[in-house]
A and B are shown apart, each in its own frame.
Chain A
Amino acid sequence: MGTVLWLSMVWIAPLICFLQVNEAKFKKNIVVGVTLPFKAREDEAVQAVLKKYKTGMWAACGLLIALAAAGWALAPESMTLWFIWIDLCIILPYVPYVRTNSALKKLKKERGWGPAADQQIRVDISAIPQEKWISPWAFLPPAVISLLPLLFDDSLWMANVSMAVCCGLFWLGYRYCYRNKSEMVDGNVELTRALTQVRRYNWGRMWLLTAYSMAVLNIGMILTVRSAFWSMVLSMVFMAVVVGACLWVELSVRRVQEKLTAGSGRDWYVDEDDHWIGGLLYYNTNDSRLVINNRVGMNSSINAAHPVGKILTVALIVLLLALPFAGEFIGGGDVVLTVSDDAVTGSNGRTEYVIVMDDVESVQLLDKLPAGLARNFGTGMPNLLKGDFSTPELGHMKTCLDPTVPPFLLIETEEGKLYLLGSREEGAAEAVYEKISQ
């Protein structure tokens, strides 16, 4: 299971680095977050900086893969180590990025390539986008498809309904995580309109693609619910499809931006470098908008100068720093099984199953897990099974145990509810079994 855990995410290192290396191509007169005039594209010093950047980025990629291999070899099932590695994947590629951004800005200043420092914003009113938004009804079909499995099997109703709701959230993301602003690069109105349309169209396409993929996943879940292996395969295929599709759309937009602006930067051009700290973080006190569009590609970012933007930025940093500690909570914490005269309690973290003693119909002590045990909803880690599980023979049961520490208690109540519980403490399950049997 640990091998699967590492393999399932090791690809993000080369993916992130690939996207960062792509930043070394001029798009909209911008390269590695710095706006440069047309003549800079042939400048030897600029080329040298970009070459060093690409080398540094692939070195970071190699380092991350090596660290993943080391993590897998040392402690394959350590969630803490895994989350630390995820953090490094997010942070490490930005080291060569920020250094190159700084080097290019220095070069820009030395060559006198920047515009005169001013506080002006230029708006071409003839290029302001007029296109209408995709209707929220376009997101209804995937939501309905997500609910179709309920007609045949309602065991995963929570997952089905959640994913249908997600389709609605996707429309909200499409509509409100986008700034309806023209993609002005220079004084060419037609170029501005073309770039704006490309971004807008692909933005909507990406969200619709994701919504429909979610719907297909929902159908697949019903077909694979009895097999943990095929469920996992389905999840990985879904992730590959969604990531692949989004990557394809992002790269398409970048390619078009590169191609359409191949000849730009000879006269007047837009230069907003002063508002982008390190080429990464947008900070503009004169901009009242929270959500802004990334200058390259089609994604969005936030204005860190906005009051809510400040909160979100701090929250993101806290989240990144806290991520390694999440390993303790996911799959960590103790699996406890206790019994009193009144009740039996199985718990892990905040999850607690309490069975009143008088309601207990029968109890079995199992040396191994029931055959065909599959997760419907909850946690399925190598050292923790928690939530709603089922087997073909027994049906649904609430589960809280460490599968690596037998034996396990299978308790049936008078209402026909099943509980499969365990404990990490040696002898605890046997003691509870004895108590209940009495």
Chain B
Amino acid sequence: MILNFDFASNVPLYMQLRNQVVIGIAEGKLQPGEKLPTIRALAEESGINMMTVSKAYQLLKQEGYILTDRRSGAVVAPREDAAGAAASAETVEALRLHLSELRLSGMNREDVLNLCERLFDEGVK
């Protein structure tokens, strides 16, 4: 899986890393139980500061996307495949914001739903 870090972006690097790992898990590029690179290895590879990588991993751990262990490092957390599972309050708020932005950009309900369906299906492939 390839991670892209945009240093010109307004989004902090740790959030870029966090977001891409979450998308990677959702799209199946990162499987439950799969080992992630160590903080040192990822920092060495990308040139990003170790503290930044550590912050992203801490956030992912808090949100339940990864599990960390001193000896084995970070692994993708197993997903509970429960139908009707509720999204977290933060995720709903973020979605509300993005939907508002799409509406303000001129997209109607049908366009938004089509877009959501397409993005969802991309992750399922």
Contact = CB atoms under 8 A, between A and B. Distances in A.
A123 B8 contact: no
Contacts of A259: none
Nearest to B1: A125
A152 to B, nearest CB: 45
A119 B41 contact: no
Nearest to A117: B8
Interface in A281-331: 284, 286-289
Contact of B3 (A125, A129, A130, A286): A125
Given A118-B6, A286-B7, A123 B42 contact: yes
A123 B7 contact: no
Contacts of B45: 123, 125, 128, 180-182
Identify which of A126, A128, A129, A179 gathers the most chain B CB atoms within 10 Å of its CB. A128
B44 A180 contact: yes
Nearest to B21: A125
B49 interface: yes
Interface in B14-68: 36-37, 41-49
Given A181-B44, A288-B47, A125 B37 contact: yes
A178 to B, nearest CB: 10
Contacts of B3: 122-125
Contacts of A91: none
The SS class assigned to the A binding surface is loop
Contacts of A129: 41
A125 to B, nearest CB: 5
A135 interface: no
Given A125-B36, A125-B37, A128-B42, A284 B4 contact: no
A125 B42 contact: yes
**Interface size class for chain B?**
10 to 19
A437 interface: no
Nearest to A289: B47
A130 B35 CA distance: 12
A371 interface: no
A438 interface: no
A119 B11 CA distance: 13
Nearest to B52: A288
B119 to A, nearest CB: 21
Contacts of A288: 43, 47-49
A351 interface: no
B37 A128 contact: yes
A121 B4 contact: yes
Given A288-B47, A289-B47, A120 B7 contact: yes
Contacts of A124: 1-3
A289 B44 contact: yes
Contacts of A181: 44-45
A284 B1 CA distance: 24
Contacts of B7: 119-121, 286
Interface string A174-192: 0000011110000100000
Contacts of B6: 118-120
Interface in B49-102: 49
A121 B43 CA distance: 12
Contacts of A125: 1-3, 36-37, 42, 45
Contacts of A122: 2-5
A314 B45 CA distance: 27
Interface in A216-256: none
A288 B5 CA distance: 14
B47 A121 contact: yes
A120 B7 CA distance: 6
A123 B41 contact: no
A121 B20 CA distance: 13
A118 B8 contact: yes
B37 to A, nearest CB: 5
Nearest to A285: B7
A125 B8 CA distance: 22
Contacts of A123: 2-5, 42, 45-46
Interface centre among A118, A123, A179 (most CB of B within 10 A): A123
B30 to A, nearest CB: 9
Interface string A187-228: 100000000000000000000000000000000000000000
Contacts of A121: 4-5, 7, 46-48
Interface of B: 1-8, 36-37, 41-49
The 6 closest A-B pairs by CB, nearest first: A287-B47, A119-B8, A119-B7, A286-B7, A123-B3, A121-B5
19 contacts: A118-B8, A119-B7, A119-B8, A120-B4, A120-B6, A121-B5, A121-B47, A123-B5, A125-B1, A125-B2, A125-B42, A125-B45, A126-B1, A128-B37, A181-B44, A182-B45, A187-B2, A286-B7, A288-B48
Given A128-B42, A180-B45, 5 more contacts: A121-B46, A123-B4, A126-B1, A130-B41, A286-B7
